[in-house]
Chains A and B, each alone.
Chain A
Amino acid sequence: MKETETDPQAKRLIIGLGNPFFSDDGVGSVVAKRLKERIPPDVRIIEQNMDSIALMETWKDVDLVIVIDAVRSGSKPGTILRLDPFKQPIPIEHFGHSTHAFGLAQAIKLAGLFDRLPSTLIVYGVEGKHFGAGMGLSPEVQQAVEEVVRLVLRDIQDVRLP
């Protein structure tokens, strides 16, 4: 888990998920890096590519969490999904998961069962094209990055904390 020098006690948290060594899987990390210079100082940003189950601890005591992750749903590469897990279940098969590690959707489900979800959780999924070993995003996914950054900044501005 990498973290910028932001406030660890922050009540607002942005999490870029994924492994930048696996091409488009790294889109969450690219968005997080892009956001670093543009968010208010009381918003914390982290990049994470380990087992998502640790997220439950990461967002403990946080009010607003925005997660950005790559998805494989069969849509056009670069398509942006904005999901509210309190309104609709997150499709497990679309989010990165392996045979032994938990993916984002599973971590959200488990956190819900343990009553450990933040009060507001927004998930951005960006449809990837290539998930093989390699650095850098596909052009279609790269194009979506700025739009996701804009949407996240809008959320940061608009969402009222309890």
Chain B
Amino acid sequence: MKTSNGAIDRIKVDYLARVEGEGGLDIVVKDGQVADLTLRIFEPPRFFEAFLRGRSYQEVPDITARICGICPVAYQMSACHALEKALGITVPPPVRSLRRLFYCAEWIQSHALHVYLLHAPDFLGYESAISMAEDPQWRPIVERGLRMKKIGNQLLALIGGREIHPVSACVGGFYRAPHKRELLALKGDLEWGLQAAMDTVTWTAGLTFPEFECDYEFVALSHPNEYPMNEGRVISSKGLDIAMEDFEAHFVEEHVAHSNALHSLRIHGGSYHVGPLARLNLNLERLSPQASMALRHCDIRFPSMNPFTSIIARSIEMVHAFEEALHIIETYERPEPSCVSVSPKSGEGCHITEAPRGILYHRYRLDDEGLVQEAQIIPPTSQNLRRMEDDLRAFVPTVLDLPLEQVTWRCEQLIRNYDPCISCATHFLKLRVQWR
């Protein structure tokens, strides 16, 4: 909307497109500055932490997988690790390796979906991937993205039993581990995918990026000798370095009226940034050889403080995921047995893994029969929500001389930098408050 003198005074998006879940945006502008801004999350809350109470530890990975159709592996992995800590068990190296392969599959399918179908149209001025594919210039590109996504899905289905909400992961390992020959059948596709991912980096690095940088606090896992997925310490670009167990002493969730998803903040601090850009910026030296090479040949320098370059970070992570997947398959030893035996007992455990969209925190308290007494889940999107609002506050004044339609588009693009999964973020319910 515009005032009588033609200045923009309101930017409104009723339904954000190309994000998972339902949200909207309302920005009020006064004298060239943002006077009021709400990233409205109206997708209804989904009460998963309540569903988990009283359920056996064995059911948790399958229930939490239902939180998200795009990143179910992340929910299963954080749940399995947290419950294994609560039950005092550790998994052998072959299981650990298969879990990384499982995560590679999810990163590939989730990142390919976002880079090609959800985010690229923003940079190229198309309304959707379909209108992009209508242009013969981009049709082979969209086709490449779809094939990459399909390979991720195939690998995920092979390990998980099915593509969406896989069923094989369990506390202690996997109900069934694939045979080496089954995995090797995908080798040719993964080799193609690795080259396609390298080409994706070249392509995304050649896009035009708005000039915009923020003084972010990037937060991600860090592991001494691997690119982080399942293990590590929580570190930040501003010097944080803590064990996962200390997460709740440094981060807090807060409710705001306009959002059915909680906002996470640093205690005594502000918003922070999780996801591929944070992960890459904080773990540049842990990339696989080809991913490192792709990074070196890229015109955009990392660490990058420009959130729009997250599309390149996702592309580089796809190179890493394809390359690591190939390595794991070639050196694969089928875990025998596929899972460690577990005896229920009381305990508490928390864990963080790197979901495609950033760190995902789970904490569980079990009674002596292994039934869940308390569950806490903090998804990456709710950790990024306040950061998205802060980005918009800083970004809007820089684009107000553009036509309203362009400003609105840019704001949506800025939100899509985070690949928000609103459906994940609204899983919560503050049970202690509601049930007393």
Contact = CB atoms under 8 A, between A and B. Distances in A.
Interface of A: 50, 53-54, 56-57, 99-100, 102, 106, 109-110, 113-114
Contacts of B17: 99
B139 A100 contact: no
Contacts of B164: 50
B130 A100 contact: no
Contact of A99 (B16, B142, B146): B16
B130 A106 contact: yes
Given A50-B164, A53-B146, A57-B150, A99 B130 contact: no
Interface in B11-54: 15-22
Nearest to B139: A113
Interface residues of B, number: 23
B130 A109 contact: yes
Given A53-B146, A100-B118, A114 B139 contact: yes
A99 B133 contact: no
Contacts of B146: 53, 56
Contacts of A53: 146
Interface in B198-219: none
Interface of A is mostly: helix
A108 B16 CA distance: 24
Nearest to A113: B133
B139 A99 contact: no
B22 A99 contact: yes
Contact of A100 (B20, B133, B142, B163): B20
B143 interface: yes
Given A50-B163, A50-B164, A57-B150, A110 B19 contact: no
Contacts of A100: 18-21, 118
B134 interface: yes
A114 B163 contact: no
A144 to B, nearest CB: 29
B19 A114 contact: no
Contacts of A54: 153
B354 to A, nearest CB: 21
11 contacts: A56-B146, A57-B150, A99-B15, A99-B22, A100-B19, A100-B20, A100-B118, A106-B130, A109-B130, A110-B133, A110-B142
Contact of B130 (A50, A56, A57, A110): A110
A152 B19 CA distance: 36
A54 B156 CA distance: 15
Given A57-B150, A106-B128, A113-B130, 14 more contacts: A53-B146, A54-B153, A56-B146, A99-B15, A99-B16, A99-B17, A99-B18, A100-B20, A100-B118, A110-B130, A110-B142, A113-B133, A113-B139, A114-B143
A110 B20 CA distance: 20
A99 B20 contact: yes
Contacts of B19: 99-100
A99 B419 CA distance: 13
Interface string B116-147: 00100000000011100110000100110010
A50 B69 CA distance: 9
A114 B133 contact: yes
B109 to A, nearest CB: 11
A8 to B, nearest CB: 15
Contacts of B128: 106
CB-based closest 9 A-B pairs: A100-B20, A113-B133, A99-B17, A50-B164, A106-B130, A110-B130, A109-B130, A114-B143, A110-B133
Contacts of B129: 110
A100 B15 CA distance: 12
Nearest to A107: B130
Contacts of B142: 110
Interface in B288-327: none
A113 B137 CA distance: 12
A80 B320 CA distance: 49
Nearest to B150: A57
Contacts of A102: 130
Contacts of A57: 150
A106 B129 CA distance: 10
B263 to A, nearest CB: 21
A137 B139 CA distance: 39
Interface string B69-86: 100000000000000000
B287 to A, nearest CB: 28
Interface in B152-175: 153, 163-164
A57 B361 CA distance: 35
A100 B163 CA distance: 17
Nearest to A57: B150
A98 B164 CA distance: 17
Nearest to B118: A100
B134 A113 contact: yes
B125 to A, nearest CB: 18
A103 to B, nearest CB: 11
